[in-house]
Structure 1
Amino acid sequence: MGNGALEGAVIAVAGAGGPAGRAALLRLAEAGATVVGSDNDPERLAEAVDAARYAHGGATVTGDTVDLLDLASTREWAARVEKEFGRVDGLVHLVGGWRGSETFTKTSLDDWDFLELLLVRTVQHTSLAFHEALQRSDRGRYVLISASGATKPTAGNAAYAAGKAAAEAWTLAMGDYFRKAGARRGRRRRLRSWW
């Protein structure tokens, strides 16, 4: 990807304070996008935003502390991004976590409760909050990073694999909605990579 590939695009990054989020902020800023990150940890988010700004002087990289487990807060964030920048061309969902066990029978359902919130509920909230703005964009994209465990679960990763599989299924359902909405409007979207 060359510099400027995303010039003029407004991209939101959920989970921007983690390692993958930091990398996404840097890469998107390098490509010329206006980047709006969110995280529930304001200090970690500020460090990630500052690092991306510093690495790419002149890049517009901002951050909002958002509780993505709260649908109303997530919708407020989506509305704020669109109001401030006039559009939303993409959301990169990088909220995650991992818990596993030694064996299948030692799986704790508390791990499932934890992972269902991080891996599934946050995807539900961001997709519901941003889908209309993404539909309005001529290049709207929703990016979910998953894991091979979603389709090849192991005995010790039952809760994690189930959470990833559920997040993938939800995202594919959103993709079907986009496809049908585009067909109704007579629009076709070519799938292409951002980076």
Structure 2
Amino acid sequence: MDDLERHHRTVARLLIKLSGTTLARLAYATGIAAGTISRWVHGDGCALGAQRRDRLFAALGARTDGANVRLAARATGAAQPMFQITGILQAERFATLAALTSTRFVAARETCQGRTLVSVVTDVTGCTTALLVGTREALDELYAELDISVPPRRRLAPSTHACRPARPARPDRFEAELGASAWPSHTLRPRSN
């Protein structure tokens, strides 16, 4: 297995772990057997092939040009990739995913959906976003790891007790409530030391 193939497998594995997407759902979305996906992402002797690999990345909310992988750019009416960040380890995994792909996140804004704390992180172009669902501690760890700035007016206060992770989040509802028009339009810069 060459370095590029290993890179693709690592990115796919992290996308699956962080998004909480089940192999059954991926199999349904891609037409690829769940066992085949599992063997491929874990590096076992399984050749997925370029077309099926592209279908897998598309189902995970990512795209590849054969070498680089990026999270999917925002599309009107499309749900964005959603990741459950429940602790430091997963925060580190998301940071690793961002480093492995060519997606560089620089800004975030937070909101609540019921009792769920949601962070929408945006890349340097403003065209790619990801939804992060998790605890205050896990999200703060992620911001620090990726050097993401969160302006005070876009950050929920730590004392907001209503925002505790609860039932599974629904990306479509977040998308509707967190549309671009809901936020003032200005560029956010990475935090500088």
With the length of structure 1 as denominator, give the TM-score of the two structures: 0.30
Q: 1 or 2, which has the higher helix percentage?
A: 1
Q: 1 or 2, which has the higher strand percentage?
A: 2
